[in-house]
Chain A
């Protein structure tokens, strides 16, 4: 199987501090790769180099064989890599449709004047949400009236609707209650079934084991180890997370 996303020798230096030293891994379609590691291990820096927010000091990122390194965050998103941030970046006062289309709103013309096509946006949102197993009770209601899991689903729906090949999720369950954490894990399963490759950042062990096809442990800017969940256990992962310091 050819990799969807290939990360090759990424390095990032901030002044005298080398946050990421040498990180390489691949993500295949329909696979969930968990980047695990303690705070300061370099997880976020790696993610930002993939999404185009940081430019790496060295190393390259390929999507479907095409070089991504050096592109702007917008260009990276167009290439099919969608990042879902912890805070979701939803506009709480707008309906799911507008949130799905934010920045790329659908427009129809009435007497030559452009009008927002709210109906189309709402229908599309409901459709994508349904493919994630979520029935939107009132498609015209603002998203602040929805539960944490449903809101997460909107952010994920955005990635699906714009046909992302890779979805990066930064601590998606960090701010959620237990039932909503389960909703998010169910969403990740559905994304995988749709052939989307997922990079999940987490330091929550139950999440890691529930979602991962592969676990890549980062410690002090390097890959401390790579395991399949079946081959390992909590203890070993924690040891690897701490490893470089021992």
Chain B
């Protein structure tokens, strides 16, 4: 290291003491998840003499709740890493759910597999359309994504309610019900679907050039533009991906409950956004991982289930999740301060 002539004035050398704090802050969501699991388990053991963790039913309920959050949060993670937001996913989910349900209802109770699959594709198409409009607004017309997707949030909501005639579209179809409530290798279908999509999104974000460009876009748009990347096309693809995973959430909803509701995704929007930020993403973009979002989704699902399990009124979950979001932002800020860069 003797030829290190230019490195002499490195002012950013961090004292060794903070590196422990840093890794603690990086892993805080893992620790937090373990902490609340431990808390609820101890509560269950001591107060009610039962168990939370060691009953398959509980674990299944928690993971299905987490999958719902994940299906909205996966594509959203990539959008947020790129420095944008997608609020319309709430109703991309509902739109997909309603379109799928309507087609199956029109086809009748004895509609076969082919019809069900076509109905699902149509539902996904409806969601992807919302995503394409978002992409067009943000990438081509330069509308800030918060406003643009708030607009399509309303439009998709209206469109879903209009095609559904303002009501929940209930269906009676054995194939659909079998899909939504069935098992694959002993695991509930929603969980398997969410797991597969999680792997795909993780691969996309972490291991592909597309993912690298997404991170770079979130940090500094000029860096990717000058590197010759087609930023507009990239943004459009991101918003379509986000609507697409949310749309799959809608298909799962319709299949599980044998009904398509326009507001299928609405209550989950806040949780999905929260999961992404709890998982380490930053509002300014450039940060966040799929692994983080998965942990975030599980933290919320455990809080939801755990509070009800403890016999508290379910409304407490809103308070608890709200508090966790604030903690997540505080952790993010102190991380920034420790690591330098933006502050």
Chain A residues proximal to chain B, CB less than 8 Å: 74, 77, 85, 87, 89-94, 98-99, 102-105, 107, 113-116, 132-135, 137, 142, 144-147, 149-150, 153, 179-180, 182-183, 186-187
A103 contacts which of B218, B219, B224 (Cβ < 8 Å)?
B224
**Is B11 an interface residue, CB under 8 A from the partner?**
yes
The interface residues of chain B lying within 8 Å CB-to-CB of A147 are: 9-12
The interface residues of chain B lying within 8 Å CB-to-CB of A135 are: 1, 4, 7
Complex contact A133–B223 (CB within 8 A): no
Q: How far is the CA of A146 from the CA of B12 in the complex (A)?
A: 7
Number of interface residues of B (CB under 8 A): 36
Given A90-B223, A146-B12, A147-B9, is A102 in contact with B340 using a C-beta cutoff of 8 Å? no
Complex contact B216–A94 (CB within 8 A): yes
Expressed in whole angstroms, the minimum distance between the Cβ of A38 and any Cβ of chain B is: 26
Given A87-B222, A102-B223, is A93 in contact with B212 using a C-beta cutoff of 8 Å? no
A149 contacts which of B9, B226, B340 (Cβ < 8 Å)?
B9
Complex contact A102–B212 (CB within 8 A): yes
Q: How far is the CA of A1 from the CA of B8 in the complex (A)?
A: 37
Write 25 A-B pairs (CB below 8 A) sorted by A numbering: A77-B228, A85-B226, A87-B222, A89-B220, A89-B226, A89-B227, A92-B220, A93-B286, A94-B212, A103-B213, A105-B212, A116-B212, A133-B4, A134-B7, A137-B10, A142-B341, A144-B341, A146-B12, A147-B9, A147-B10, A147-B11, A149-B9, A150-B7, A153-B6, A182-B9
The interface bits of chain B over 222-256 (1 if a CB of A lies within 8 angstroms of the residue's CB, else 0) are 11101111000000000000000000000000000
Q: How far is the CA of A85 from the CA of B220 in the complex (A)?
A: 13
Stretch from B65-73, B170-178, B201-209 forming part of the interface with A: B201-209
Given A74-B228, A103-B227, A105-B209, is A93 in contact with B3 using a C-beta cutoff of 8 Å? no
Complex contact A91–B219 (CB within 8 A): yes
Q: How far is the CA of A144 from the CA of B12 in the complex (A)?
A: 10
A-B contact count (CB 8 A): 106
Given A105-B209, A145-B340, is A90 in contact with B220 using a C-beta cutoff of 8 Å? yes
Complex contact A183–B6 (CB within 8 A): yes
Q: How far is the CA of A90 from the CA of B219 in the complex (A)?
A: 8
Q: How far is the CA of A136 from the CA of B211 in the complex (A)?
A: 24
- Beyond contacts A90-B223, A144-B339: 20 other A-B pairs, Cβ-Cβ < 8 A, are A85-B226, A89-B226, A91-B219, A91-B220, A91-B223, A92-B219, A93-B218, A94-B215, A102-B216, A104-B227, A105-B209, A114-B208, A114-B209, A137-B10, A145-B339, A146-B12, A147-B12, A149-B6, A183-B6, A186-B6
Chain B residues proximal to chain A, CB less than 8 Å: 1, 3-12, 203, 207-209, 211-213, 215-216, 218-220, 222-224, 226-229, 286-287, 339-342
The interface residues of chain B lying within 8 Å CB-to-CB of A144 are: 339-342
Expressed in whole angstroms, the minimum distance between the Cβ of A70 and any Cβ of chain B is: 18
Complex contact A133–B6 (CB within 8 A): yes
Expressed in whole angstroms, the minimum distance between the Cβ of A90 and any Cβ of chain B is: 6
Complex contact A103–B228 (CB within 8 A): yes
The interface residues of chain A lying within 8 Å CB-to-CB of B213 are: 102-103
Complex contact A94–B11 (CB within 8 A): no
The interface residues of chain B lying within 8 Å CB-to-CB of A103 are: 213, 224, 227-229
Most A CB within 10 A of own CB, among B12, B222, B227, B339? B227
The interface residues of chain A lying within 8 Å CB-to-CB of B340 are: 144-145
Complex contact B224–A91 (CB within 8 A): yes
Complex contact A116–B208 (CB within 8 A): yes
Which chain B residue shows the least CB distance to A99?
A: B223
The interface residues of chain B lying within 8 Å CB-to-CB of A99 are: 223
The interface residues of chain B lying within 8 Å CB-to-CB of A146 are: 10, 12
Q: How far is the CA of A51 from the CA of B99 in the complex (A)?
A: 51
Complex contact B207–A115 (CB within 8 A): yes
Complex contact B341–A145 (CB within 8 A): yes
Which chain A residue shows the least CB distance to B220?
A: A91
Complex contact B215–A91 (CB within 8 A): yes
Q: How far is the CA of A183 from the CA of B213 in the complex (A)?
A: 29
Expressed in whole angstroms, the minimum distance between the Cβ of A204 and any Cβ of chain B is: 19
The interface residues of chain A lying within 8 Å CB-to-CB of B339 are: 144-145
Expressed in whole angstroms, the minimum distance between the Cβ of B26 and any Cβ of chain A is: 13
Complex contact A179–B227 (CB within 8 A): no
Expressed in whole angstroms, the minimum distance between the Cβ of B12 and any Cβ of chain A is: 6
Q: How far is the CA of A134 from the CA of B212 in the complex (A)?
A: 25
Expressed in whole angstroms, the minimum distance between the Cβ of A85 and any Cβ of chain B is: 8
The interface residues of chain A lying within 8 Å CB-to-CB of B229 are: 103
The interface residues of chain B lying within 8 Å CB-to-CB of A102 are: 212-213, 216, 223-224, 227
